[in-house]
Structure formats: structure tokens, C-alpha cells
């Protein structure tokens, strides 16, 4: 009887651990995906629909131009060129993408996070000061800063979803490549998300949250608008 019970328990356990029905969810590939019960609604999958393999071409797996900088973000002095699933369709389902960042002297890529990817940065030119904020498990009102000055050949990793920044501390341009373990890593700019949202966050919420007065909040809104 004991042997039968052991074999039965082992079989049930193996079924639950190996059955795809009980597998964990895949990581999201877009910011929101609202469920609908309307059977006639348009289909919008969590990711990209696959092309018929017979119609694939070499250009689907090819991108040219990472050797030159991209377009500079307004007021930042940082140019970004991203190679993701939108610019290289062959990346679909592969869970990888890359970007090139070019920094003007003393320019800052401000506090931000990638909601769907960890990011691995390597420095090609210049010196970049990077900072990563890790929440304090004992006190969620605090965090620990992991920071480092990176030079050519140095590598640093930013775990998925954690806030970080990049600052060119040198007097010459700096260039880096960043690799993501997502075909669509996404980016959330913390200052702009807070002070330039539409509709705007109520002044009382921002004033209390940042311990500022409403005049200061208005000034910040103007800067990030």
C-alpha cells in the first residue's frame, strides 16, 4: 500500500510540474493588453503576429546603421538608436534587442526603467557614471544606490524594472551599446512620467509626495512639458 501511494503521488507531482497548463505566464511584450469578451473585437496579440516562414527574407534578420548615432532626445544631449522587433522583424520571439547611446559632454540620460528587460551596457568610448537603485527590503521608503564609473571595455547590468541613470562625466562625447533580453524592452522616464503625464497628476498628490509647494510643482511641470 505504501509503495502504491508513493508511486501515485510521484506521478501526480510529475504531471503538475511538467504540464504546460500549469506553466508560468510569459513576460508581457507591450505596456498594456486589456482583455475583451467581444468575440468580434479586433485581434491584438501580446507581441507580434508571425510571418509565413515561406515569405521571410534575409532583410528580416538584418539591420544597418548601428555604426552611427541616432536622433538626440530633446534637451537631453543623448542620442538613441534602438534595434528592436520594430526595426528588425526577425527578432520576434527571440527575446533580444540592442541600442546605441551617444552622450554629449556632461549629458544625462535621466532616471528611467525598462519594464520588460534587464539591460547590459558596455562602454565603447568616454567615461559614464551609472547608478542603479535597489529597494531596501527592510524599508520600502529607502533604496540602496549601486554606482560605478565605466570606461571603454567596462560592462554593467541593470536588472529588469529597476530605476537607473547614465551620466557622461567627461568633457568629450561618450558612446555605449546596451543589450536587452526582450524584443521590446520599453522605457519609462521617471521625471517625464510624473510631471508631464496626461491627464496631469493632481498638484496635491505631487506636492505631498515630493514635499514641495504648488508653485514648485508648476515650475517642474513647465520644465518637463
Encode pLDDT of 38-78 as tens digits: 777 766 677 788 888 899 999 999 999 999 999 888 778 99
Residue 90 DSSP class: G
Instruction: Tell how strand 78-83 and strand 71-72 pair up.
Output: antiparallel
User: 3-class DSSP state for residue 215?
Assistant: helix
Tell me which residue of 124, 97, 103, 70 sits closest to 187, measured CA to CA: 97
Does the pLDDT of residue 81 top 90, yes or no?
yes
Model pLDDT, residue 50:
86
Q: Which residues are annotated binding-site positions for oxalate?
A: 114
Scan for cell 500500500, then name that residue. 1
Q: Which residues are annotated binding-site positions?
A: 112, 114, 164
Q: Which residues are annotated binding-site positions for Mn(2+)?
A: 112, 114, 164
92-116 tens-digit pLDDT: 989 999 999 999 999 999 999 999 9
- Average pLDDT over the chain, rounded to an integer: 88
The C-alpha atoms of residue 210 and residue 224 are separated, in whole angstroms, by 16
Model pLDDT, residue 12:
47
CATH of domain 1-186: 2.60.120.10
In this prediction, residues 149-158 reach a mean pLDDT of: 98
14: confidence class by pLDDT, cuts 50, 70, 90: low
Model pLDDT, residue 15:
45
Amino acid at each position: 500500500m505504501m509503495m502504491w501511494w508513493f508511486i501515485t503521488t510521484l506521478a501526480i507531482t510529475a504531471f503538475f510540474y511538467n504540464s504546460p497548463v500549469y506553466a508560468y505566464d510569459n513576460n508581457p511584450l507591450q505596456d498594456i493588453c486589456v482583455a475583451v469578451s467581444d468575440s468580434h473585437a479586433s485581434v491584438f496579440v501580446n507581441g507580434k503576429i508571425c510571418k509565413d516562414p515561406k515569405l521571410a527574407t534575409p532583410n528580416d534578420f538584418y539591420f544597418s546603421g548601428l555604426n552611427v548615432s541616432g536622433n538626440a532626445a530633446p534637451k537631453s544631449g543623448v542620442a538613441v538608436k534602438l534595434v528592436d522587433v520594430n526595426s528588425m522583424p526577425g527578432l520576434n520571439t527571440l527575446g533580444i534587442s540592442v541600442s546605441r547611446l551617444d552622450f554629449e559632454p556632461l549629458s544625462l540620460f535621466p532616471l528611467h526603467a525598462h519594464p520588460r528587460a534587464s539591460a547590459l551596457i558596455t562602454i565603447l568610448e568616454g567615461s559614464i557614471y551609472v547608478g542603479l537603485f535597489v529597494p531596501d527590503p527592510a524599508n520600502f521608503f529607502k533604496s540602496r544606490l549601486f554606482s560605478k564609473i565605466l570606461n571603454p571595455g567596462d560592462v554593467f547590468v541593470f536588472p529588469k524594472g529597476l530605476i537607473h541613470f547614465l551620466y557622461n562625466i567627461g568633457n568629450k562625447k561618450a558612446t555605449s551599446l546596451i543589450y536587452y533580453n526582450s524584443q521590446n524592452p520599453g522605457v519609462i522616464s521617471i521625471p517625464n512620467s510624473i510631471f508631464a503625464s496626461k491627464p496631469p497628476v493632481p498638484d496635491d498628490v505631487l506636492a505631498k509626495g515630493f514635499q514641495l509647494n504648488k508653485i514648485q510643482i508648476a515650475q517642474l511641470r513647465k520644465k518637463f512639458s
